[in-house]
Amino acid sequence: MSSVCPHSAAARGFDPFAVDYLADPYPHLRALREQEPVFYSAELDYWVVTRYQDVQTCFVDQQRYSALITLDAIVPPFASTVDIMQRRGFQPGPALVNEDPPLHHERRKRLARAFSPQRMKALEPFVREVVTRLLDRFVARGSADLVAELFYELPALVVFKFFGVPDAEVDQVKAYAGPLALFVWGHPSEQEQNRLAEMMGAYYEYSRMHIRRAKAAGDDAALANDYIQAHLEDPGLFPEEYVASLLPNFLYAGHETTTSQAGNAMRILLEHREQWQRLCADARLIPNAVEECLRAVSSVIAWRRRTREAVTLQGVSIPAGAKLLIYSGAANHDPALFADGEAFDIERGNARRHVSFGHGAHLCLGAPLARLELKVMLEELSRRLPHMQLVPGQSWQYSANTSFRGPRHLQVSWDAAANPVSADRP
């Protein structure tokens, strides 16, 4: 593959860990989509794919594109890291997102029960209660970091309730989540990778302990119990170690990605003030606004696949066994499907056709939960703080990884004396 070279300036200069790219990847992804939509990056040892049709094909065609590398580290583990992983019993195994058929279909069908429409409807009052309680802490203050004080807390509390994580352990488990993105999708040095491996080892040890504790307690309220029941019903299909490996991945997917998506959504809404005001005036716009935020500024901008056989995309021949970095963030802006795809429009008619949750058999199981949380957050923020605005001049910081994106902080301010709900005024 070393003889395969990119032809365009955009492809030759592509670096998903560069400071300017991390600050705003979309101009870079647009240039790739227009100049060289499929190319091989020798630095990454991945083929980069950026157009909607091709990204969708990679998601849907499981016969030619395997998901097995989805959780492989972008930087292969160093020998010293492997030693740590073996010592800590941290061997990232299959976790649904990185499985192929027929096993993937059999497991997914059983696990999908946890995210049924009935369960989401029953969960909505709890989500609203948590949003209300968190807003109550700062609504009369006149300023807040929405990521730290709302967006980080809500998804964590909701998904941890799902999995039956005790309140006293919430902070401990939240601290485990960040290292997963950097270990799998980042570009760590050997020293950094070793540190992350130690933390991930602790995470997997916690997961095993929690699963066994939940099994012993028979906690019917925990989502983990659904998985435990699957293990008890069919231990061949759901070994205990497999169930334990699901916990870190589901906690990460249900916590960090929703936190990041909420931060992305509120930033772009407040940067487009007229659209935020329209949403505040008409709550019926919120469901489609959620979809447009998912399309325009997804918290998951790339996934990975490996070719099972030689394939051709955009006239480019890709060999069997090639690793693909498929950019859903680029696909979501593709003008071939989304008119003026770089523009943000909360009334866009086909916004829901984004691929931020993947597509086909690997469509994110937790998508209904993420949509519910985003909807409730926008409903309550638009009702109680329609006059908030971004604090000017703030610094935007994003994690240095290929796939997950969201601001670490989002500072907003408002005139608390003008809060529309009288009980919210100081």
- For 302-328, give one letter per residue: b (16+ CB within 10 A) or e: bbbbbbbeebebeebebeeebbbbbbb
Angle between helices 286-296 and 273-281 (to 10 degrees): 150
CA-to-CA distance for 153 and 170, rounded, in angstroms? 10
Are the C-beta atoms of residues 8 and 37 closer than 8 Å to each other?
Answer: no
pLDDT value of position 213: 85
Quote the Cα angle for 55-58-64, to 5°. 160
Are the C-beta atoms of residues 137 and 149 closer than 8 Å to each other?
Answer: yes
Instruction: Provide the CB-side half-sphere exposure for 265 (13 A, CA).
Output: 31
CA-to-CA distance for 230 and 257, rounded, in angstroms? 26
pLDDT value of position 2: 41
CA-to-CA distance for 212 and 155, rounded, in angstroms? 24
Tell me the DSSP string of 258-271: HHHHHHHHHHHHHH
pTM, 2 dp: 0.93
pLDDT value of position 167: 79
What domains can you pick out in the chain, each with its CATH number?
A: 9-424 (1.10.630.10)
Local confidence pLDDT in tens for the 426 residues of the chain? 444 678 899 999 999 999 999 999 999 999 999 999 999 999 999 999 999 999 999 999 999 999 999 988 888 999 999 999 999 877 777 888 999 999 999 999 988 888 889 989 999 999 999 999 999 999 999 999 999 999 999 998 888 877 778 878 888 887 776 677 788 888 899 999 999 999 888 888 888 888 888 778 765 555 567 777 888 888 899 888 888 788 778 877 788 899 999 999 999 999 999 999 999 999 999 999 999 999 999 999 999 999 999 999 999 999 999 999 999 999 999 999 999 999 999 999 999 999 999 999 999 999 999 999 999 999 999 999 999 999 999 999 999 999 999 999 999 999 999 999 999 999
Tell me the DSSP string of 4-73: ----SHHHHT--TTSHHHHH--HHHHHHHHHH-SEEEETTTTEEEE-SHHHHHHHHH-TTTEE-TTTTS-
Q: 163, exposed or middle or buried, with CB in 10 Å at 0-12, 13-18, 19+? A: buried
